[in-house]
Amino acid sequence: MPLTQCDTIKVDLKSASIEGDNRSYDIYVGQRLIEFAGRLIKPLLKRPFSIIVTDDNVAKHHLANLQASLGNQEIASEAIILPHGESSKSMRMLEDLLEQLIAHGIERGDVICVLGGGVIGDLAGFAASALRRGVDFVQIPTSVLAQVDSSVGGKTGINSPQGKNLIGAFHQPKMVLADIDILDTLSERHIKAGYGEILKYALINDLEFFNWLLENGKKLVDGDKLARQYAVVKSCQAKANIVSQDEKEMGMRALLNLGHTFGHALENHTNYSDRLLHGEGVAIGMVLAFEFSSYLGFNNGGDITTIKAHLEQIGLPHDLSFNGLEPLPSAKRMLELMRQDKKTEQGNLTFILAKSIGQSFVEKNVDEQKILNFLHAKQFT
Ligand code: GLY
């Protein structure tokens, strides 16, 4: 059976790699990809064996299909099923996963299949980077957020009680398989939250994509497969383009953090719980980033109404009245939480700001008093 309706995007790390070190890889985006996973993964394997790392929620829906697909290619597989949820991105769970992988007899030449959303992708990718000084892995992302962002680009890691993703490594996957059909099993809230990351690419540098989202975003959220595939492809292309030029975030990759300085701080405030999903934090964070840009005089604020109206249409939160955030932290506490951002340099926060939709930029050394004044001007006391 041919691989139908599938787009392929290359993450081309040749320019970022030392000579002879070919870590470039393909992202496949399409329908029924799990069925073809065995066929696509087989050429990467040194022996007909793989370990699948997944979580209990995802396993219920997709593990048997993936194992059948591997089995059809005579690839034996073992599965490690971890608890779902952000709290799995912990040191304790990392240790548990590493021990289980070793107990399953993983060899340095093996390829781990990582089947899950952002949490499993980040955790298992990090375990792969550490195990036997680096084992290969394939990402099979099962959430919108993972398909459009976290499975691509090699950022892996876990959370520390002091902040999100503070412990981690860059470790690129060998391949990414984004199966659009898998998104059918997600809740409406998780689809919408993932949409926050899709919108991010448009706001960063693609006004045309933003206009497409104004037309098609609702359709995508409501389940239109072709709209979903187009948006995942556009997002992966945008990310692949940036990562290919700046794998280790020495410069422009920081743009991918639009909305994240505010968003991560709000997620920390809500203990990374279901009160605020990552994409919801990013949506509110992007609005705050545009408002802060306007506060600093970089734009006239005209786009803010358009962005908020679009988020409203999609059903995503766009301001601090979102009830999951209550009670809001003080401005001082918010600043403290924002300082945990990995872009902080010599104590100074780095912000991703915007002149307009599609024209974002990196701004360092923003005066701390201005940040506090802005936070006070919002609802932070
Ligand atoms: N999610 C931001 C990045 O991968 O750089």
Between CA 72 and CA 51 the distance in angstroms is 16
CB 290 within 8 A of CB 340: no
Q: Which residue from 161, 94, 163, 80 is spatially nearest to 122, judged by alpha carbons?
A: 94
Can you give the pTM of this predicted structure? 0.94
The domains of the chain are located at: 6-184, 188-377
Sheet of strand 25-30: strand arrangement = 6-11, 25-30, 175-179, 136-141, 111-116, 49-55, 76-82
Between CA 314 and CA 60 the distance in angstroms is 28
The answer to whether 318 is a known catalytic residue is no
Instruction: Please tell me which residue, 221 or 274, carries the higher pLDDT value.
Output: 221
Across 187-195, average pLDDT: 97
Is 89's C-beta closer than 6 angstroms to any atom of ligand 1? no
Is 253's C-beta closer than 6 angstroms to any atom of ligand 1? yes
CB 247 within 8 A of CB 239: no
The answer to whether 35 is a known catalytic residue is no
The length of the chain is: 381
The answer to whether 14 is a known catalytic residue is no
- Active-site residue among 89, 165, 174, 197? 197
pLDDT value at residue 234: 97
271-325 per-position pLDDT tens digit: 888 999 999 999 999 999 999 999 999 999 999 999 999 999 999 999 999 999 9
234-262 per-position pLDDT tens digit: 999 999 999 999 999 999 999 999 999 99
User: Which residue's alpha carbon is at the smallest distance from atom 2 of ligand 1?
Assistant: 256
Between CA 72 and CA 131 the distance in angstroms is 28
- Give CATH for domain 188-377: 1.20.1090.10
Q: Which residue from 183, 78, 161, 166 is spatially nearest to 122, judged by alpha carbons?
A: 166
Is 282's C-beta closer than 6 angstroms to any atom of ligand 1? no
Is 240's C-beta closer than 6 angstroms to any atom of ligand 1? no
pLDDT at 182 over 90: yes
Is 200's C-beta closer than 6 angstroms to any atom of ligand 1? no
Which tokens in the block code for residue 361? Answer: 């930029």
pLDDT at 10 over 70: yes
Which tokens in the block code for residue 117? Answer: 């959303």
The answer to whether 363 is a known catalytic residue is no
Is 342's C-beta closer than 6 angstroms to any atom of ligand 1? no
Atom of ligand 1 nearest to the CA of 257: 2
CB 264 within 8 A of CB 340: yes
3-state secondary structure 252-290: HHHHHHCCHHHHHHHHHHCCCCCCCCHHHHHHHHHHHHH
Pick the CATH number of 6-184 from 3.40.50.150, 3.90.1150.10, 3.40.50.1970, 3.30.559.10: 3.40.50.1970
Give the rounded percent of residues in the chain with a pLDDT score beyond 90.
85
The answer to whether 216 is a known catalytic residue is no
Q: Which ranges in the chain belong to alpha helices (H)?
A: 33-41, 56-58, 64-72, 91-103, 118-130, 144-145, 188-205, 207-222, 225-245, 260-269, 278-295, 302-314, 331-338, 368-377
Peptide bond into 327 cis (omega under 30): yes
Distance of CA 49 from the midpoint of ligand 1 (Å) = 30
Conformational region of residue 365, where left means phi above 0, alpha means psi within -120 to 50, and beta covers everything else? left
